[in-house]
Amino acid sequence: MERSEIKPFIAKRVAKELHDGDVVNLGIGLPTMIPDYLDPSIKITLQSENGFIGLAAADPESPDAAYIVNAGGQPAGIEKDGMFFDSATSFSIIRGGHVDATVLGSLQVDEKGNIANWIIPGKMVPGMGGAMDLVVGAKKVIVAMEHTQKGSPKILKECTLPLTAKNQVNMIVTEMGVMDVTPEGIVLKEYNPEFTVEEIQAATEAKLIIADDLKPMV
Amino acid sequence: MAKTKVISAKEAASFVKDGMTVMIGGFMTNGTAESIIKEIAASGAKDLTVICNDAGYQGVGTGRLLANGQIKKLIASHVGLNKECGQKYSAGELDLVLQPQGTLAEQVRAGGAGLGGFLTPTGLGTTVAEGKDIITVDGQQYVLEKPLRADVAIVQGYIADESGNVRYKGSTRNFNPLMASAADTVIVEVEKIVPAGEIGPDYVETPHIYVDYLVLKEEA
């Protein structure tokens, strides 16, 4: 797979996990590509942690254009049925279990469903923003990321970086496969036929449990 | 009928004195009262503790005060889009407290609502919970987070009536109405001031009883 194909490939697969009517929060980067791959019959509602429901593409023609940004601080728009609220309400929605799914990238994930994606001590101190609340509050947490960091595993036995949250990740989607995080460990349930199961295991520090009904990723 | 005094951005800035704690509304400068921030920068008030979602951008919003060396301590949730913030922190020039965004918002809300704190599952098992009380309720653990208050809150609204009732526009609302409830002196910068009653009681988002002064946005 060409490098440029990796992110769209992951986004396309994650899109299949979202259901009609879901309220979804998408992290910055790769996850923002997911709506482009949704089946046209599926309508989801996007929550933006900075204070609205109904996140849409920026509409430069709108008189309100200058007043709306997304969670990355970039110009954004709002759907007809959308609404704005303050940050405490935004996180009541998030923590209160009113978001069906959140999709975000990560630096590390481990077999207990721990996630580390907010700090590299001594190197990068961006802060957690809304990520800690999102992974704790959303009903389903999907990590969408490249399988390795330039060849070194990101799916580990145990995260080594400071955690964003404990035991919160439900699913991991990478260019190599689709994995569920279960109490027994990480179950590989779909694989990209460009790789063998052995190659996927070799790129993963955690011991993968191979699903009985392992399927190719489509 | 209550009438809220309209002051200049420069007069507003004069309420911010050395060593004070200041809340600054906005999310990546969307909803940050830039006219007042510019005047605080010009005033040179120093050793400030600033409570703001983020560090703005380099030289803009909270980033303007940071670049000017006026901030001693910053309480925020995300500072990654302002390189200078990380540099100052690494150089030991800035005391930085990072809180989850939902926790930060709720701390400000609690500060304005007279609460002694709140229990959140966010941050459990992470460095955020270190040194904080963990309280178990019905078998579920929570982190006890304490309220935040400030000496001065710098808030951006869109429209105010002359009584000081405020409405916001778009996603600029974010932390602004929360901060308007949680400081001893609350100053709201708006684009327009209309006669009392024109917003309409059903549409007021920040009640005038929170608002001490209004500032009309000054063109850059």
Over residues B182-192, mean pLDDT: 98
Minimal CA separation from A198 to chain B, in Å? 33
Domains of chain A: total: 1
A158 carries an active-site annotation: no
Do A35 and A46 touch, CB atoms closer than 8 A? yes
pLDDT band at A122 (very low <50, low <70, confident <90, very high): confident
Q: How far apart are CA B75 and CA A91, in angstroms?
A: 18
Contacts of B155 (CB under 8 A, 6+ apart): B25, B33, B166, B176, B177, B179, B180, B186, B187, B188, B189, B206
**Model pLDDT for residues B92-112, shown as the tens digit of each residue:** 999 999 999 999 999 999 999
Residue A124 is predicted with a pLDDT of: 82
Task: Write the DSSP symbol of residue A17.
Answer: T
Q: How far apart are CA A101 and CA A140, in angstroms?
A: 5
Contacts of A158 in chain B (CB under 8 A): none
Over residues A36-48, mean pLDDT: 96
The full DSSP string for A140-199 is EEEEE--SEETTEESEESS--SPPSBSS---EEE-SSEEEEEETTEEEEEEE-TTS-HHH
Residue B66 is predicted with a pLDDT of: 98
Q: Helices (DSSP H) in chain A: which residue ranges? A: 3-15, 87-95, 131-137, 197-202
**Model pLDDT for residues A60-82, shown as the tens digit of each residue:** 999 999 999 999 999 999 999 99
Please determine, for residue B73, whether its predicted confidence score (pLDDT) is greater than 90.
Answer: yes
Percent of chain A beyond pLDDT 90? 96
Task: Supply the range of the domain harboring residue A212.
Answer: 3-216
Residue B1 is predicted with a pLDDT of: 77
Contacts of B122 in chain A (CB under 8 A): 95, 132-133, 136-137, 165
Please determine, for residue A56, whether its predicted confidence score (pLDDT) is greater than 90.
Answer: yes
Tell me which residue has tokens 């009609």.
A20
Best to test chain B binding among A98, A112, A128 (most B CBs inside 10 Å):
A128
Tell me which residue has tokens 């709506």.
A35
Residue in B closest to A166 by C-alpha: B125
pTM value > 0.90: yes
Residue A174 is predicted with a pLDDT of: 98
Q: How far apart are CA A185 and CA B114, in angstroms?
A: 45
Q: How many residues does this entry show for chain A?
A: 218
Identify any residues that bridge with B23 across adjacent strands, giving them in sequence order.
B51, B153
Kindly state the helix (H) or strand (E) to which residue B31 belongs, with its residue range: none
Asked whether the beta carbons of residue B77 and residue A130 sit closer than 8 angstroms, the reply is: yes
User: What string of H, E and C letters represents the secondary structure of B55-124?
Assistant: CCECCECHHHHHHCCCEEEEEECECCCCHHHHHHHHCCCCEEEECCHHHHHHHHHHHHHCCCCEEECCCC
Asked whether the beta carbons of residue A128 and residue B169 sit closer than 8 angstroms, the reply is: no
Q: How far apart are CA A168 and CA B61, in angstroms?
A: 34
Neighbours of B60 (CB within 10 A): 16
Residue in B closest to A137 by C-alpha: B122
Task: Write the DSSP symbol of residue A118.
Answer: S
Q: How many residues does this entry show for chain B?
A: 220
Neighbours of A181 (CB within 10 A): 25
Contacts of A73 in chain B (CB under 8 A): 27-30, 57, 81
Minimal CA separation from B98 to chain A, in Å? 6
Minimal CA separation from B72 to chain A, in Å? 17
Domains and CATH numbers, chain B: 5-116+147-216 (3.40.1080.10)
Please determine, for residue B220, whether its predicted confidence score (pLDDT) is greater than 80.
Answer: no
Mean pLDDT of all residues belonging to chain A? 96
CATH (domain of A121): 3.40.1080.10
Q: Kindly tell me the sign of the dihedral angle through the C-alpha atoms of A130, A135, A137, A141.
A: positive
Contacts of A163 in chain B (CB under 8 A): 125-127
Given the DSSP bridges, would you call strands B95-98 and B71-76 parallel, antiparallel or unpaired? Answer: parallel
Contacts of B108 in chain A (CB under 8 A): 88
Q: How far apart are CA B70 and CA A114, in angstroms?
A: 38
Half-sphere exposure of B142 (CA within 13 A, CB side): 16
Do A183 and A152 touch, CB atoms closer than 8 A? no
**Amino acid type, B157:** G
Minimal CA separation from A132 to chain B, in Å? 6
**Amino acid type, A178:** V
Asked whether the beta carbons of residue B176 and residue A86 sit closer than 8 angstroms, the reply is: yes
